Amino acid sequence: MRRPLVAGNWKMHGTRASVAELIKGLRQLVLPAGVEVAVMPPCLFINQVVQGLDGKSIAVGAQNCAVEAAQGALTGEVAASQLADVGCSLVLVGHSERRQVLGEGDEVVSRKFAAARSCGLVPVLCVGETLAEREAGKTLEVVGRQLGSVVEALGVGAFSQAVVAYEPVWAIGTGLTAGPAQAQEVHAAIRAQLAAESAEIARGVRILYGGSVKAASAADLFGMPDIDGGLVGGASLNADEFGAICRAAGS
Ligand code: 13P
**pLDDT tens figures, 152-172:** 999 999 999 999 999 999 999
- Residue 95 annotated as catalytic: yes
Distance CA(109)–CA(153), nearest Å, equals 10
Distance CA(125)–CA(146), nearest Å, equals 9
Structural domain count, the chain: 1
Angle made by CA atoms 196, 113, 182, in degrees to the nearest 5? 55
Residue 239 lies in a domain: no
Mean pLDDT of 7-33: 98
Helix 215-222 and helix 239-250: axis angle, to 10°? 20
Ligand 1 centroid vs 232 CA: distance in angstroms? Answer: 5
- Looking at residue 166, the DSSP 8-state letter turns out to be E
- Probe residue for ligand 1, chosen from 212, 221, 238, 241 as the CB with the greatest number of ligand atoms within 8 Å: 212
Residue 250 lies in a domain: no
Residue 172 lies in a domain: yes
Element (H, E) at 208: strand 206-210
Ligand 1 centroid vs 218 CA: distance in angstroms? Answer: 13
- The helix/strand/coil state of 137 is coil
Residue 1 pLDDT greater than 90, yes or no: no
Structural domain including 113 reads 5-234
Residue 191 lies in a domain: yes
Is-contact 93 113, C-beta < 8 A?
yes
Confidence bin at 10 (pLDDT 50/70/90): very high
Q: What is the pLDDT of residue 251?
A: 81
Q: What is the pLDDT of residue 15?
A: 98
Residue 169 lies in a domain: yes
Of 36, 97, 129, 167, the active-site residue reads: 167
Residue 177 pLDDT greater than 90, yes or no: no
**pLDDT tens figures, 58-67:** 999 999 999 9
Is-contact 64 92, C-beta < 8 A?
yes
Is-contact 159 205, C-beta < 8 A?
yes
Element (H, E) at 142: helix 139-154
Residue 26 lies in a domain: yes
Residue 176 pLDDT greater than 90, yes or no: no
Nearest to 235 by CA among 250, 215, 217, 221: 215
Q: Give the C-alpha distances (Å, rounded to integers) separating 34 from 2, 65, 220, 250.
A: 10, 28, 18, 6
Distance CA(99)–CA(155), nearest Å, equals 22
- The helix/strand/coil state of 122 is strand
**Which residues lie closer than 8 Å to 216 by C-beta, 6 or more apart?**
none
Q: Which atom of ligand 1 is nearest to the CA of 173?
A: 4
Q: What is the pLDDT of residue 108?
A: 98
**pLDDT tens figures, 185-226:** 999 999 999 999 999 999 999 999 999 999 999 999 999 999
Q: What is the mean pLDDT of the chain?
A: 97
Mean pLDDT of 144-151: 98
Mean pLDDT of 7-31: 98
- The helix/strand/coil state of 21 is helix
**pLDDT tens figures, 75-133:** 999 999 999 999 999 999 999 999 999 999 999 999 999 999 999 999 999 999 999 99
Nearest to 150 by CA among 118, 127, 122, 119: 127
Q: What pTM, to 2 d.p., does this model score?
A: 0.98
Residue 247 lies in a domain: no
- Probe residue for ligand 1, chosen from 208, 232, 237 as the CB with the greatest number of ligand atoms within 8 Å: 232
Residue 175 pLDDT greater than 90, yes or no: no
178: domain CATH number is: 3.20.20.70
Residue 248 lies in a domain: no
> Residues with beta carbon inside 6 Å of ligand 1?
9, 95, 167, 172-173, 210-213, 231-235
